[in-house]
Structure 1
Amino acid sequence: MDRTALTAKVFGGRMPARAGDLAVESHGIAPIPEANRFGRPVRLLTVFFAPNLTMTAVFSGTLGAGLGLGFRTGLIALLVGTVLGAVPVAYLATWGPLTGTAQLPLARLPFRRTVVLPGLVQWANSIAWDALVGLFGGDALAQLLGLPFWLTVAIVLVLQCAVGVLGYEVIHRVQAVMTAVTAVFFVVLTIRLLGGHPVVVADSASGADLAGAFILFSTIALSLSISWASYASDFSRYLPPTTSRPAAFAYTVLGLTLSFAWGEALGLAAGQSLADQTTAGISALLGGGVLGAIALLVITLTAVSSNAMNDYSGSLALQTVGVRVRRPVSAVVVTVIAFALILWMHSGDLASKFEDVLLIVGYWIPPFVGVVTIDWWVRTRRGRRFDVLAEVARPEPGWPALAAFLFGCAAAVPFMNTSIYTGPVAAALHNADLAYYVGFVASAALYAVFRTALRKPAR
């Protein structure tokens, strides 16, 4: 078998032909032909809502109370951060219908062969998010069934892997069902929380410390929503090219903002009462018994549905770097490695490890978004359309994208704030974390300079 045929066999494969086609999707990173496009943009609302209304969002909200923010101030901070993170994701999601291509494969346009670096980082990112979400799913199932934590984590990972292996259409269908399930559960949780739990409105921090805490908490919220930027068009690539871009953008922003803001606001309202044992705290908050058991089951199911998307995107990232493994096999690899990371996070200081992993796994995303956005603007100026495979085949250097990406990551370092490392600028700004914003601006600016200097007339 020659190289071209092998590439087509590994990176191509069976695709769902219509809504409701639930057979295994073996198709990999090759663009989706127009004949296989289907669905409406409203799908983006549910696919970005259900996987994010999870205990990860709730636990992230409790961090605001730990920073000294009252409910009113913390709510403003999380809304600002969530929307700022959701906008680039929604913009990138509109590229799926136009190109039929997933997000990391599209990054080959600016990065060329150097896409190996962001591709490997994205693959590791998928594993990290598996751990962040799967941790709560395993904990909830352990409390529900009375089984060892390692065993319940394994059960959760097997279930999510099955959904990830089945692929695009099954993921969309699962998220549509889970949107209804999680919405009902969180309505009950919200009513119970606001009816029987005192909500701290006043800020315990003040002055410059309050400003630093506000920025840090908004950055934590931003890190959650923008984390989908490197996945965005993975779940819109089957939409028809005639799909309304404003509709796709609006549904994505709405799905991300409603889910993350709702979950984080609940965590913020609950405060430190949920900071140590989140799933146990939720069950106790609902009074235990049948209602508490239902809560634990829903937490488990949301972990499964959310992580199925991580496995799916992780499998596409591994193919993007050039590993010639069929997409379903790659999804299994992501799941297996996540198991070890979950066990590590579950040991020792959970809150500290959770915040560190949450921030660290996302620092690379704004520099990545800066590069691919500038590249897209240059390629599509004056309404130009292009074929992705033909454009990738054109002889262009990949080093400008890689250099700008690395520059953005490096520029962000002094502005970082984690328990592992606090940059000098962040320390001077009372622990305010501005690394996400600096990384985006730095990479976009440098790549724009490179593209201007090296620009050739479009063919």
Structure 2
Amino acid sequence: MAVAEPTTDGTYRDRIVAVEPGGNEFIAEADRHGKPRQLFWTWTSPNLEFATIFVGMLAVLAFGMTFWQAVAGIVIGTGLGAAAHYFLSARGPLHGVPQMVLGRMAFGFRGNAVPSVLMSITAGVGWFATNSVSGAFALSTLFGIGPLVALIVIVLLQTGFAFFGHNLVQAFERWSFPFLAVIFVVASVAIFAHADFTTPVAAEGVGGMGGFLLTVGTSFGYAAGWTPYAADYTRYLPSTVSTARTGLFASSGLFLSCVVLEVVGAASVTTGEASLADPTGSFTSELASPLANATLLAIAVGAIAANSINIYSGAMAFVTIGIKLPAHIARALVTVFFGVAGFLVAWWALPDAAHSYEAFLLIIAYWIGPWLGVVFADQYLRRNQPIAEFLYDRSYTNWNGLLSFVIGLVASVLLFANQEKLVGLVTRAVPQLGDVTFFVGFLLAGGCYLLLCKSKIARERDAAPVTR
């Protein structure tokens, strides 16, 4: 059954201080604005934060890599995540809908609720809490206030930006970019000046191929964690913009910011002061007092920049599940809900913030790997097929897409996971593999989708006119 797309009414346009109406509707041409180059700072600013630095610190401290081994793993993992971000971002101007709405083609309207819920929890609660804690500790250290008070300030600011919606979030990323870029460039130069790139491998680290694959996995998990948001920030661009430029600016901002700060994190460990017990303090200990204070402020601002995107897209994914709310305030209401939920989780995590970060990064990759496999396989099979009539059709099903995702996720985790409380069967027998769950999940889910869904999509393609 063909269903017309619900669309925006052309009143939002490029207004910044205005609550974005609606939820996940198609963006009408009257509301389209902006240029692809704005995506560079949209995807640079949210990664100029301490969580990015900590990925590089983990590579050396926890995974037992030398500095140069860490650099190689970071570039590979981030490059894979950025490549996925390129292709998904490029679809936004063409289709004019959020990323998780596009996912309805691969999973069906109801089946898509599974990855949408996973994304809502990951972004609106998991990442929101993780970044809120790092920002709160930075603010607490800088101004000498209690961590809980600092957390409340951080949460209120980032929830406020997300509540107003797309245009204010994009504007804040643009406004914060120069400050964050200057501070982190200066701090990076200072860290590199004290670094010793010949420092031997940490004795307590994993080491070897296993440690390298863990480095690739966490770097990929961090970068690919943004991919379920990709089209959310390109759907307002005019439909006539270059899709290649759209993908290039989005992916280059993501790749550059992640690689630079993760490499800086790895370099900071070689100064001899780094500690997983106090990562923020050990990172800033090598900086002169004024620069250390400016860096702490940048960490707090970077957390707000990241979480404005996290909570906005987390709320967008939740709305996509299909729960009916007042249309004109659906996304804004859900944003407040996730702000409260994320605050409670962050408050609970304050006493031991660093302990579970490694596991969190890998777990993100566990579900995003098979999700990307299904989404890209669907995109390949549907090339040139018009899809607008299916996106809001509640009767549209594609259960084999969800089955492919579940097969890829369950099989890869049971066989290849490498967590403190869950070690896969293959990993237990061959521990030097490290953790390749995300690679296996991607390939297995994508392969299953190609096999199980090819004939269904071929029938749909035959019944539809060809488009670009």
Q: Same fold (TM over 0.5)?
A: yes
Q: Is the 8 A contact 2:93 2:235 kept in 1?
A: yes
Q: Does 1:458 align with 2:463?
A: yes
User: 1:27, CA displacement in angstroms?
Assistant: 2.8
**Which residue in 2 is equivalent to 1:184?**
182
Q: What letter is aligned with 2:319? A: Q
**Which residue in 1 is equivalent to 2:284?**
283
**Which residue in 2 is equivalent to 1:217?**
215
The secondary structure found in structure 2 opposite 1:40 is coil
Q: Is the 8 A contact 2:169 2:308 kept in 1?
A: yes
Q: What letter is aligned with 2:281? A: A
Q: Is the 8 A contact 1:120 1:318 kept in 2?
A: yes
Q: Does 1:109 align with 2:105?
A: yes
Q: Deviations over 1:93-136 (max 9, x none)?
A: 11100100001111112222111111111110111011121111
Q: Is the 8 A contact 1:352 1:419 kept in 2?
A: no
- In the alignment, the residues of structure 2 paired with residue 406 and residue 78 of structure 1 have an alpha-carbon distance, to the nearest angstrom, of 28
* The one of 73, 79, 85 aligned to 2:75: 79
- In the alignment, the residues of structure 2 paired with residue 13 and residue 260 of structure 1 have an alpha-carbon distance, to the nearest angstrom, of 37
In the superposition, relative to structure 1, how do residues 211 and 205 fare at CA in structure 2: closer, same or farther (>3 Å)? farther
User: 1:297, CA displacement in angstroms?
Assistant: 1.3
337-346 vs 229-238, greater mean Cα deviation: 337-346
111-120 vs 42-51, greater mean Cα deviation: 111-120
- In the alignment, the residues of structure 2 paired with residue 202 and residue 78 of structure 1 have an alpha-carbon distance, to the nearest angstrom, of 18
Q: Is the 8 A contact 2:24 2:97 kept in 1?
A: yes
**Which residue in 2 is equivalent to 1:47?**
42
**Which residue in 2 is equivalent to 1:65?**
60
Q: Does 1:28 align with 2:33?
A: no
- In the alignment, the residues of structure 1 paired with residue 433 and residue 58 of structure 2 have an alpha-carbon distance, to the nearest angstrom, of 14
**Which residue in 1 is equivalent to 2:427?**
426
**Which residue in 2 is equivalent to 1:17?**
13
Q: What letter is aligned with 2:293? A: A
- In the alignment, the residues of structure 2 paired with residue 431 and residue 56 of structure 1 have an alpha-carbon distance, to the nearest angstrom, of 25
404-413 vs 106-115, greater mean Cα deviation: 106-115
* The one of 435, 438, 448 aligned to 1:436: 438
- In the alignment, the residues of structure 2 paired with residue 15 and residue 285 of structure 1 have an alpha-carbon distance, to the nearest angstrom, of 50
The secondary structure found in structure 2 opposite 1:123 is helix
The secondary structure found in structure 1 opposite 2:288 is coil
Q: How many positions carry a matched residue from both structures? A: 447
- In the alignment, the residues of structure 2 paired with residue 453 and residue 187 of structure 1 have an alpha-carbon distance, to the nearest angstrom, of 52
- In the alignment, the residues of structure 2 paired with residue 452 and residue 50 of structure 1 have an alpha-carbon distance, to the nearest angstrom, of 40
**Which residue in 2 is equivalent to 1:99?**
95
- In the alignment, the residues of structure 1 paired with residue 463 and residue 84 of structure 2 have an alpha-carbon distance, to the nearest angstrom, of 26
In the superposition, relative to structure 1, how do residues 205 and 115 fare at CA in structure 2: closer, same or farther (>3 Å)? same
112-121 vs 302-311, greater mean Cα deviation: 112-121
In the superposition, relative to structure 1, how do residues 356 and 204 fare at CA in structure 2: closer, same or farther (>3 Å)? closer
417-426 vs 39-48, greater mean Cα deviation: 417-426
Identity %: 27
In the superposition, relative to structure 1, how do residues 132 and 452 fare at CA in structure 2: closer, same or farther (>3 Å)? same
**Which residue in 2 is equivalent to 1:261?**
259
In the superposition, relative to structure 1, how do residues 154 and 391 fare at CA in structure 2: closer, same or farther (>3 Å)? closer
**Which residue in 1 is equivalent to 2:132?**
134
**Contiguous gaps of at least 5 residues in structure 2:** none
- In the alignment, the residues of structure 2 paired with residue 234 and residue 60 of structure 1 have an alpha-carbon distance, to the nearest angstrom, of 25
Q: Does 1:342 align with 2:338?
A: no
Q: What letter is aligned with 1:23? A: A
Q: Deviations over 1:376-405 (max 9, x none)?
A: 22222xx34x25245543964321111011
Aligned ranges for residues 178-327 of structure 1 at < 5 Å?
178-203=176-201, 209-271=207-269, 273-288=274-289, 290-325=290-325, 326-327=330-331
Q: What letter is aligned with 1:95? A: R
- In the alignment, the residues of structure 2 paired with residue 426 and residue 43 of structure 1 have an alpha-carbon distance, to the nearest angstrom, of 43
User: 1:420, CA displacement in angstroms?
Assistant: 2.6
- In the alignment, the residues of structure 2 paired with residue 122 and residue 32 of structure 1 have an alpha-carbon distance, to the nearest angstrom, of 22
Q: Is the 8 A contact 1:14 1:24 kept in 2?
A: no
Q: What letter is aligned with 1:327? A: R
The secondary structure found in structure 2 opposite 1:164 is helix
The secondary structure found in structure 1 opposite 2:346 is helix
- In the alignment, the residues of structure 1 paired with residue 285 and residue 314 of structure 2 have an alpha-carbon distance, to the nearest angstrom, of 35
- In the alignment, the residues of structure 1 paired with residue 463 and residue 391 of structure 2 have an alpha-carbon distance, to the nearest angstrom, of 10
Q: Is the 8 A contact 1:408 1:438 kept in 2?
A: yes
User: 1:328, CA displacement in angstroms?
Assistant: 0.8
User: 1:335, CA displacement in angstroms?
Assistant: 1.3
Q: Is the 8 A contact 2:12 2:21 kept in 1?
A: no
Q: What letter is aligned with 1:132? A: T
User: 1:209, CA displacement in angstroms?
Assistant: 4.3
249-258 vs 91-100, greater mean Cα deviation: 249-258
In the superposition, relative to structure 1, how do residues 196 and 56 fare at CA in structure 2: closer, same or farther (>3 Å)? same
User: 1:205, CA displacement in angstroms?
Assistant: 7.2
Q: Does 1:121 align with 2:118?
A: yes
In the superposition, relative to structure 1, how do residues 108 and 91 fare at CA in structure 2: closer, same or farther (>3 Å)? same
- In the alignment, the residues of structure 2 paired with residue 187 and residue 396 of structure 1 have an alpha-carbon distance, to the nearest angstrom, of 49
User: 1:81, CA displacement in angstroms?
Assistant: 0.5
- In the alignment, the residues of structure 1 paired with residue 146 and residue 17 of structure 2 have an alpha-carbon distance, to the nearest angstrom, of 33
The secondary structure found in structure 2 opposite 1:77 is helix
The secondary structure found in structure 2 opposite 1:363 is helix
**Contiguous gaps of at least 5 residues in structure 1:** none
Q: Is the 8 A contact 1:58 1:266 kept in 2?
A: yes
Q: Is the 8 A contact 2:53 2:262 kept in 1?
A: yes
In the superposition, relative to structure 1, how do residues 268 and 15 fare at CA in structure 2: closer, same or farther (>3 Å)? farther
User: 1:201, CA displacement in angstroms?
Assistant: 4.5
User: 1:435, CA displacement in angstroms?
Assistant: 0.6
The secondary structure found in structure 2 opposite 1:157 is helix
185-194 vs 428-437, greater mean Cα deviation: 428-437
- In the alignment, the residues of structure 2 paired with residue 13 and residue 213 of structure 1 have an alpha-carbon distance, to the nearest angstrom, of 52
Structure 1 vs Structure 2 CA RMSD: 2.4
After superposing on structure 2, the runs of 4+ consecutive aligned residues of structure 1 that deviate more than 6 Å are none
Q: Deviations over 1:42-89 (max 9, x none)?
A: 111111111012100111111111221111111011001100111111
Aligned ranges for residues 405-424 of structure 1 at < 5 Å?
405-413=405-413, 414-424=415-425
The secondary structure found in structure 2 opposite 1:420 is coil
**Which residue in 2 is equivalent to 1:329?**
333
- In the alignment, the residues of structure 1 paired with residue 152 and residue 433 of structure 2 have an alpha-carbon distance, to the nearest angstrom, of 37
Q: Deviations over 1:22-44 (max 9, x none)?
A: 32212310110122111111111
- In the alignment, the residues of structure 2 paired with residue 394 and residue 182 of structure 1 have an alpha-carbon distance, to the nearest angstrom, of 43
- In the alignment, the residues of structure 2 paired with residue 262 and residue 281 of structure 1 have an alpha-carbon distance, to the nearest angstrom, of 19
**Which residue in 1 is equivalent to 2:371?**
368
User: 1:223, CA displacement in angstroms?
Assistant: 0.4
